[in-house]
Amino acid sequence: MDRKNLERRSFLQGLLGAVTTLAAQAAPPSEATLEEAKRLLDSSVQSGMLRAASLHVRRGEFSVRQAVGEASPGTIFLIASITKPLTAAGVMLLADRGEVQLSDPVRKFIPEFTEGDRKLITVRHLLTHTSGLPDQLPENIELRKRHAPLEEFVERAIRTPLLFEPGQKVRYQSMGFLLAGEVVQRITQQPLRNYLREELFLPLGMRNSELGLGHLKIEETAQSQVEEAPGLYGGGADNLSWNWNSHYWRDLGAPWGGAHSNGADLERFLRYFLHPDGSLLRMTTAGEMITNQNLGLDTPWGLGFMVQSDNLCEFCSPETFGHSGSTGTLCWADPRHDASMVLLTTLPAQASRTSLLEPVSSLVGSAFA
């Protein structure tokens, strides 16, 4: 076993062994600080800035469920890039079954993915933003405008130019997760959305979660404030047929950003990694997903999860993991304090990151610090 893997295993064993003890020692949360977080959400609705939001906070048996504006605690949101750790978990379920290894070249499962440095890209690269693939395809907007099927995105991603040699840099890449989803589909011979529902969502009790729409109806979900994001894929009067609220985008099932869920379901997902019991993933696998895989590189990432990131929670411990989404979503879990937060809003991150997402997250994190 090489040095990097030894370091990963040592850190993982220490993390899993310390979680229960550290959580038991954590101080009770500051309820006054949590009330301040809720007031910030309320005032954002009252000012007209925010239409709807759902906040789920938990530490042990203590929990807060807050909904503001047009939302209820159970409202389902388009969660954008929080989809990525869900897709990664789908890959790791197959890894536990011996059907894929992180060190496997992607071309083992996608034989046409061989040109140039593509033959060097491994499954690990796809899940850690180190593949060299771009975040979005150069023709991304054109594909969305004509309602291209996901299969065409895959075909283009297989052939799109790489930005750097695999494994040498870290650069956020949604297309890596698109191809990770394709790997799952080729192994299982079923649509990724069906596989995630049957193998991940339902076993965890995530009955209000879908990749794409599935059993959901758009009118049952919160509508994104796309007019607040004119520079993104949501805003503008000329893209009503393909923006974040369109049936096309909501049901595309993009493995990098097309899932729907609610606060309770995402809380279940996060807390599985706080207290892995082997019922879904092996305990070592669950720990590996929330452990930095990019040793020696400038940006840490777990497998699908953001780790060691101040963008998640200013006052949380270094062991915190989670993800954010461009539709205005943020979630994290802090093993040191056995705490988790899921904040889902309708206000795109472009408009809410500094005014709402980060302030609320900081307040929640400080309540447990």
- What average pLDDT does range 99-121 have in this prediction? 97
Handedness of CA 352, 83, 201, 318 (dihedral sign): negative
Q: Which of 86, 87, 132 is nearest to 113 (CA)?
A: 132
Q: Where is pLDDT greater, at 12 or 359? A: 359
Does the pLDDT value for residue 18 go beyond 50? no
User: What is the CB neighbour count within 10 angstroms for residue 46?
Assistant: 11
Q: At what angle do helices 31-46 and 358-368 cross, to 10 degrees?
A: 170
Task: Report residue 13's pLDDT band, with 50, 70 and 90 as the boundaries.
Answer: very low
Give the model's pLDDT for residue 6.
Answer: 46
- What average pLDDT does range 297-311 have in this prediction? 95
Q: What would the 3-class secondary structure string for the chain be?
A: CCHHHHHHHHHHHHHHHHHHHHHHHCCCCCHHHHHHHHHHHHHHHHCCCCCEEEEEEEECCEEEEEEEECCCCCCEEEEECCHHHHHHHHHHHHHHCCCCCCCCEHHHCCCCCCCHHHHHCEHHHHHCCCCCCCCCCCCHHHHHHCCCCHHHHHHHHHHCCCCCCCCCCCCCCHHHHHHHHHHHHHHHCCCHHHHHHHHHHCCCCCCCCEECCCCCCHHHECCCCHHHCCCCCCCCHHHCCCCCCCHHHHHHCCCCCCEEECHHHHHHHHHHHHCCCCCCCCHHHHHHHCCCCCCCCCCCECCCCEECCCCCCCCCCCCCEEEEECCCEEEEEEHHHCEEEEEEECCCHHHHHHHHHHHHHHHHHHHHC
Give the model's pLDDT for residue 29.
Answer: 73
Task: Report residue 2's pLDDT band, with 50, 70 and 90 as the boundaries.
Answer: low
**CATH 3.40.710.10, applies to 3-368:** yes
Does the pLDDT value for residue 237 go beyond 60? no
Give the model's pLDDT for residue 45.
Answer: 97
Does the pLDDT value for residue 164 go beyond 80? yes
pLDDT in tens, 115-143: 999 999 999 999 999 999 999 999 999 99
Does the pLDDT value for residue 224 go beyond 70? yes
Does the pLDDT value for residue 264 go beyond 60? yes
Phi, psi dihedrals of residue 110, rounded to the nearest 5°: -125, 85
Please tell me the distance from the alpha carbon of residue 348 to that of residue 353, in angstroms, as a whole number: 8
Does the pLDDT value for residue 310 go beyond 90? no
pLDDT in tens, 171-186: 999 999 999 999 999 9
Give the model's pLDDT for residue 125.
Answer: 98
pLDDT in tens, 190-211: 999 999 999 999 999 999 999 9
Place of tokens 């695999």: 166
Q: Which of 41, 65, 38 is nearest to 52 (CA)?
A: 41
pLDDT in tens, 71-98: 999 999 999 999 999 999 999 999 999 9
Domain boundaries, the chain: 3-368
Q: Which of 233, 260, 113, 116 is nearest to 176 (CA)?
A: 113
